[in-house]
Structure 1
Amino acid sequence: MPTTTTAKRVTAADVARSLGISRATVGFVLNDTPGQKISDATRDRVIAEARRLGYRANNAARALASGRSRIVLLVMPDWPLDHNLRTNLDEASLALDEAGYSLVTMTPHAGGKAQPLWETLNPDVVMGLTPFTREQIARFRAAGVEHIVPDIPLEDGTALDDLSDGPAQQVRHLVERGRTRLALAGPSDPRLADLRELRRSIARAEIERTPGIELVASADLDAASATERLHEFLEAGADAIVAYNDDVAAWLLGAALRSGIDIPGRVGIVGHDDTPVASLIVPSLTTVRIDIAGLGRFFAQMALNAADGAPVPTDRPRATSEIIARETT
């Protein structure tokens, strides 16, 4: 019967034995221990031999010795993973990787049975895109998490805030195009309720302070109900629609095209987020582009400061936004 063998893990002692130098010297080099006077030539020899032998650091042992896992756990709200959110996560992950940390994400679900990752990974930092509840913070603390960002409970007055004045820019753009009777269209996805109401309130406030402009309808929709909602908007007299995002705008645009409704002649539509679909559909979609390139790296810096015990930056970069005028307005 054939037997299987398990390759022995190459250790720092193996590297030291191969080079004929002390285990301590090899350890200092491989662990990049500060304060040690080791020549560049010896350092290069150790690194080259470690690579040749296939040495890999024992991260579990290193974490145990240092008290750090080098993991940042991002606890996500139960939101759809849209274009802007993916961009933020990519930037944060890259910035943390450059600092020697791994970004791990998880989304707790109501009634979920999986053991929370903050109990199994021993993360150095637990972060949230939105404020945690007092109960969540208590669970993190009970699992031994020392660093939580943000650590001010939701009940203490913190609130979700929008990244830009994009909804107000949607309204201003339509007014500049001569539209006076506006409808607000949001997604019916319950996971987006808070963000939907936030954007809607910004757009509504802009309408209320603009003379001669009227909000004639406001409704939520999905792909299946877009045609019905569109006809309701038109029956209310809307000559333009402010859509929560490009998905909602695209659903309405598709409904209009299938119904033979002229866009933008009968009704203008403006989306939000400038996702790839906005420039690909015909007619192409007017939308709001948000520059959030620095936001993901800001989140990463918050995590790194927390892990190092440094003050967490609070002056979050303000996203800039601009209207990208295309064919639907």
Structure 2
Amino acid sequence: MTNTASERRVTAADIAREVGVSRATVGFVLNSTPGQTISEATRDKVIDAAQRLGYRPHLAAKALASGRSRIILLVLPDWPMEYSMRRVVEEASILLDQAGYSLVTSTPHEGGTARPLWETLQPDVVIGLLPFSPERYAEIRNSGVAAVIPRPDDTEPPGDLSFGHGPRLQVEHLLERGRRQLVFASTPDPRLADLASSRYAVAAETARAHGIEDLARAGVHSDNATDLVAAWHRSGITGVIAFNDDVAARIVGAALRLGLAVPDDLAVVGHDDSPLSNVFVPSISTIHVDDEGLGHYFAEQALNATIGTPEPQWDQSPKVSLIKREST
């Protein structure tokens, strides 16, 4: 079967044949090349033919010619794509799109054999949601990427996804409510082990500062939630610091099934302010994170590296706040 223009990529040569001009003329028009004496009538015919034939520029060739792909690659940790991370990526994507850049995400998996996207896409900037190891940083730079953020010698990563102020606010809120027998309810997901440990460390340090030593910790999932809550109630636990809102919802649900009153018998505070926390009954007190601000921060870091916009500053303290709801 003979290919037609509709069955393959339309090229500048197709437009030139359609209009009856040279390929150079088509290139001058489509690239808005300055200093050319092309009549308005010819220019209009070229643009009309390009639109009618469905011409799209060849991005790889355009990137090669300009030295820019206008692609930002955001490397995500191998975590479940939960609400907070989705919001960060969405907000970064919107801001970059407004600046004329496309955001692409990649999640390298341990043991994976796929060719890295920083090699295939030729992005202008690669940003890690978490800091890169020196070896990974060198690998990305050696692939030809001009800007990699953060550098291994950066004293601060581009953002702090542990949101250390969150666990501190969780503990302080429960203490203010008169709860001193506390437990940290973690996630059993091994992909989140480091993040859970980071949040637990802050919670335990805050508890110690208020005279509570050895903050208890337990992984909560759907199969053990009821047994754990029953054991906590028997041992006198009255306040739960949950790793996130999903864990908090499991605990509140288990408490209600056991006939316990929330918050009278057990007060629970979650983290992330996901939609679930507000629609759950009873609604769940939680930590609100400025995902929009963090997404904008990553986007502004990329724009600073590509076009020299002002370097953004990140201070997580005003980005994290407590939302008080029925569960406490």
For normalisation by structure 2, the TM-score amounts to 0.85
1:288–1:323 Cα contact (<8 Å) kept: yes
1:43 & 1:298 partners in 2: Cα distance?
41
1:79 & 1:35 partners in 2: Cα distance?
52
Residue number in structure 1 paired with 2:325: 326
Q: Which moved further from structure 2: 315-324 or 156-165?
A: 156-165
Residue number in structure 1 paired with 2:267: 268
1:176 aligns with 2:176: yes
What amino acid is aligned across from residue 220 of structure 1 in structure 2?
G
1:323 counterpart SS class: strand
2:119 & 2:183 partners in 1: Cα distance?
46
Residue number in structure 1 paired with 2:240: 241
Q: Cα offset for 1:77?
A: 1.0
Q: Cα offset for 1:321?
A: 2.6
Structure-2 change in CA distance of 1:216 and 1:108 (3 Å): closer
Residue number in structure 2 paired with 1:166: 166
1:1-329 counterparts in 2 under 5 A? Answer: 3-7=1-5, 9-12=9-12, 14-15=14-15, 26-33=26-33, 47-152=47-152, 161=160, 162-163=162-163, 165-210=165-210, 217-308=216-307, 310=308, 313=311, 315-318=313-316, 320-329=319-328
Q: Cα offset for 1:215?
A: 5.9
Structure-2 change in CA distance of 1:36 and 1:237 (3 Å): farther
2:150 & 2:269 partners in 1: Cα distance?
34
Structure-2 change in CA distance of 1:35 and 1:216 (3 Å): same
1:93–1:102 Cα contact (<8 Å) kept: yes
2:219 counterpart SS class: strand
Q: Cα offset for 1:224?
A: 1.9
Q: Cα offset for 1:267?
A: 0.9
Q: Deviations over 1:254-308 (max 9, x none)?
A: 2212222221121111111111111222222111222221221221121222234
2:69 counterpart SS class: coil
Q: Which moved further from structure 2: 190-199 or 314-323?
A: 314-323
What amino acid is aligned across from residue 11 of structure 1 in structure 2?
T
Q: Cα offset for 1:26?
A: 4.5
Structure-2 change in CA distance of 1:163 and 1:89 (3 Å): same
Structure-2 change in CA distance of 1:214 and 1:22 (3 Å): same
1:11 & 1:286 partners in 2: Cα distance?
57
What amino acid is aligned across from residue 242 of structure 1 in structure 2?
I
2:163–2:320 Cα contact (<8 Å) kept: no
What amino acid is aligned across from residue 245 of structure 1 in structure 2?
N
2:41 & 2:137 partners in 1: Cα distance?
49
Identity percentage over the alignment?
Answer: 51
1:177 & 1:233 partners in 2: Cα distance?
18
Structure-2 change in CA distance of 1:168 and 1:22 (3 Å): same
1:182–1:215 Cα contact (<8 Å) kept: no
Q: Cα offset for 1:129?
A: 0.6
2:300–2:309 Cα contact (<8 Å) kept: no
Structure-2 change in CA distance of 1:111 and 1:263 (3 Å): same
Q: Deviations over 1:160-196 (max 9, x none)?
A: 8333612222122222222222211111212112211
Calculate the aligned-residue CA RMSD, in Å.
Answer: 2.9
What amino acid is aligned across from residue 96 of structure 1 in structure 2?
L
Q: Cα offset for 1:128?
A: 0.4
What amino acid is aligned across from residue 123 of structure 1 in structure 2?
P
Query: Can you give the 5+ residue segments of structure 2 that lack an aligned partner in the other structure?
Result: none
Query: Can you give the 5+ residue segments of structure 1 that lack an aligned partner in the other structure?
Result: none
Structure-2 change in CA distance of 1:16 and 1:55 (3 Å): same
Structure-2 change in CA distance of 1:188 and 1:36 (3 Å): farther
1:105 & 1:302 partners in 2: Cα distance?
16
What amino acid is aligned across from residue 92 of structure 2 in structure 1?
A
1:169 counterpart SS class: helix
1:152 counterpart SS class: coil
2:237 counterpart SS class: coil
1:87 counterpart SS class: helix
1:314 & 1:280 partners in 2: Cα distance?
35
Q: Deviations over 1:180-234 (max 9, x none)?
A: 22211111212112211222222223222236x5665222222222223323433
1:13 & 1:103 partners in 2: Cα distance?
31
2:300–2:312 Cα contact (<8 Å) kept: no
What amino acid is aligned across from residue 189 of structure 1 in structure 2?
D
1:27 counterpart SS class: helix
Q: Cα offset for 1:83?
A: 0.5
What amino acid is aligned across from residue 97 of structure 2 in structure 1?
D
2:124–2:306 Cα contact (<8 Å) kept: yes
2:227 counterpart SS class: helix
